[in-house]
Amino acid sequence: MIGVYLGRPIEGWTHARIVERFGEVRDYVHEAQGRPLIVSDDDLSGTFAFVRAIEEHGPHLGSREIGLTWLNQIVEGRSILWWGGMGNSTEETAYIRLKSGIPAPQSGSIALNGRPAAEQIGAQIFIDGWAMLAPNNPELAARLARAAAQVSHDGEAVDAAVALAVMEALAFTRRPLEELLDAAQATLPPEGTLARLYRDVRQWHATLPNWRDAFAELEKYYGYHLYPGNVHVIPNHGVILLSLLYGGGDFEETLVICNTCGWDTDCNVGNVGALMGLLCGLNAIPERWREPVADRLFVCSAEGSRAVTDAVQVTDNLVRLAHVLHGLPLPERPPRYHFRLPGSVQGFQGEGVEVQPYPDGLHLTVNGAGRATVATFLPPEVPNPHDTPYTRNLGQGWNYTLLASPTLHPGQRVTARVRVDAPLTVAWTLDHYDAEDQPVTLNAEATLLQPGTHDLTWTVPDLRALPVARIGLQLEGAGTLILRHLDWQGVPTLQLTRPPGAGQMWRRAWINAAGRIDIKSPGLMRFSQHEGVGQLLLDARDWTSLRLRAVMSAQLPAPLGLAVHTRGLRRHYALWVRPGLVELVRQRDAERVVLAQAPSLWEPGERLELCLTVVEGSLQARVGRAMLEARDPNPLPPGGVAVLCEANGVDVWEVQVQPI
């Protein structure tokens, strides 16, 4: 994370340009470039979204299964990847292959895509998450890395990803850097370009005391001018090796060298930051780099409830995936915010309150009045994306579209355990967007807490389709409140109709996986899809027993419907309606199982009420007078909800979500 944030504002700069502008890059330079610090980025989204293949396919997976996860997690033209075009963006090229039915690893092969495209940098930039699942197990790390890399790449790019993964797996046990490099080099074909690069950079390190002289050699013999494509792996892997060697095992110096070298800075410094973080530990990270980040990151995928997140939640998920991978009992799910990891604040920020991490919880110190809150949805500064896919460079420093669903909704019960050292008046506080997209603060009834431990609860009230942006605690008095943990759960109670005003945040709560949205439609939403399935998803991970109701209409005699227990784009229960037929379907990747069907009297142009209920694998559906029931012997895990269409244009007039 820190490496990506350090390198992002100068991505693509040459070494000469960086030196002229900054000398050495020792701090974040986003403000100097007029950019925000925390932005969506492919290096983070791909790294932490693609490892979900283990959730979807279990521990015995290969390239084919990881490719299926690409299709489930990537919103075409909008999430994770650099959408630079077929034959120009390696990852988009591989995605198009997958979408057309070509499985991985063929999807990323030289034979299909050509050597220049197959040997760009993308394989290694997504590899850190896989290595983190294999601590001190370089063989497993290499196997996972190769399988993941081959979805989109081939040749030297795959070898580079494997070499990095092996080093990161070994870094868990704090081995000498030379030992890590030896292990990485041993994985490479000895006559290949990458092996020669390792030998040369290590030789330069032995003979040239100054890293700048070594970089001059790297630029001369392995520079961009020698390799085809936009961002070739060889020059950038060389920068990684050079910075590791000349950094001398020091976290800060290694990242400074890597960033100052230039080229694909966010990718390179992201990889180096992951490796050095594992090797050196949290205490080696400068506080001036860690404090502004406050653990915050965005992971942009079809699972929008996991978009606005933090380093601790991502770490908890990696730990859980590692248990699955190694056949270990799953750990108990911790509260969403638990602050157990050293120095963690999990995105909490104070207004009139000092926020400090301690081993016993998050310390909130106040002298007067103030509050501490955490984001639950898109921050106000995120640019509004275009309504059609393949939007690039949204402005204001946002090169990648950020898709997200709120993590907290009306009707859900928020809980916290706190300890106070002096009498403090405490109230739940939240911000929600109004109909013009302006944040509005809503406070619950305040309570005077005496010194001691207290459990706090609150049910989020009805906000009439307006999304919750932040949640936290309002404090008044003089003293310290220790926030042990904070969480929420349950299916929300949502009655969604189009709010008045020109705001769009209520609409952006839905993940747009459709060809087009018409924001001027008279109803709640109007969306269309030229071919295949288009969907708008209100994402969640834990909505178990619920009823989804919607009123929809379409002018074409083509399918429309609802989905529940959605996890990504291709895993859900769906209620599909077309003239003459209603179907209740379980979709799991390409597997489509019809659980029940009945005749339909719906005609295009008519408003249609659809209702779909799910309780522990039992499903009930109603479309007008048609009723369907089914029980799935192999039930899907809980998830979110969606509205669907296939080669159609659909008006959605209202949506209700209710717990059962």
DSSP at 579: T
Q: Decide whether 345-376+404-490 matches 510-659 in CATH topology.
A: yes
Could you report the per-residue pLDDT of 293-329, keeping only the tens digit for each?
A: 999 999 999 999 999 999 999 999 999 999 999 999 9
DSSP at 539: -
Q: Identify the CATH class of 510-659.
A: mainly beta
Kindly indicate the confidence band of residue 397, based on its pLDDT and cuts at 50, 70 and 90: low
Could you report the per-residue pLDDT of 133-189, keeping only the tens digit for each?
A: 999 999 999 999 999 999 999 999 999 999 999 999 999 998 999 999 999 999 999
Q: What is the pLDDT of residue 486?
A: 99
Could you report the per-residue pLDDT of 482-531, keeping only the tens digit for each?
A: 999 999 999 999 999 888 898 999 999 999 999 999 988 889 999 999 99
Please, what's the largest Cα pairwise distance for the chain? 82
Could you report the per-residue pLDDT of 442-488, keeping only the tens digit for each?
A: 999 999 999 999 999 999 999 988 999 999 999 999 999 999 999 99
Q: What is the pLDDT of residue 381?
A: 86
Number of neighbours of residue 203 by Cβ within 10 angstroms? 12
Residue 390 has pLDDT above 80, yes or no: no
Q: What is the pLDDT of residue 306?
A: 98
Q: Residue 239 in 3-state DSSP?
A: helix
Q: Is 41 annotated as a binding residue?
A: yes
The amino acid at residue 241 is L
Among the listed residues 344, 331, 484, the one whose alpha carbon sits nearest the alpha carbon of residue 415: 484
Whether 121 and 236 have beta carbons less than 8 Å apart is answered as yes
Could you report the per-residue pLDDT of 569-627, keeping only the tens digit for each?
A: 999 999 999 999 999 999 999 999 999 999 998 999 999 999 999 998 999 999 988 99
Q: Is 40 annotated as a binding residue?
A: yes
345-376+404-490 placed in CATH 3.30.465.10? no
Could you report the per-residue pLDDT of 229-261, keeping only the tens digit for each?
A: 999 999 999 999 999 999 999 999 999 999 999
Number of neighbours of residue 558 by Cβ within 10 angstroms? 16
Q: Residue 548 in 3-state DSSP?
A: strand
Residue 660 has pLDDT above 70, yes or no: yes
Residues facing 428 on adjacent strands: 473
Query: Per residue in 236-255, is it b (16+ CB within 10 Å) or e — as a string?
Result: bbbbbbbbbbbbeeebbbbb
Least confident window among 30-34, 109-113, 363-367:
30-34
Among the listed residues 311, 504, 510, the one whose alpha carbon sits nearest the alpha carbon of residue 409: 510
Domain map (residue ranges) of the chain: 2-47+121-295, 345-376+404-490, 510-659
Instruction: Say what the pTM is.
Output: 0.96
- What's the CATH architecture for 2-47+121-295? Orthogonal Bundle (1.10)
**Quick one: average pLDDT of 44-56?**
98
Whether 469 and 379 have beta carbons less than 8 Å apart is answered as yes
Residue 438 has pLDDT above 70, yes or no: yes
Proportion of the chain above pLDDT 90, given as a percent: 93
Number of neighbours of residue 635 by Cβ within 10 angstroms? 15
Residue 392 has pLDDT above 90, yes or no: no
Residue 396 has pLDDT above 70, yes or no: no
Least confident window among 125-129, 227-231, 273-277, 522-526:
522-526
Residue 391 has pLDDT above 70, yes or no: no
Tell me the average pLDDT of the chain: 96
Q: How many residues does the chain have?
A: 660
**Quick one: average pLDDT of 112-136?**
98
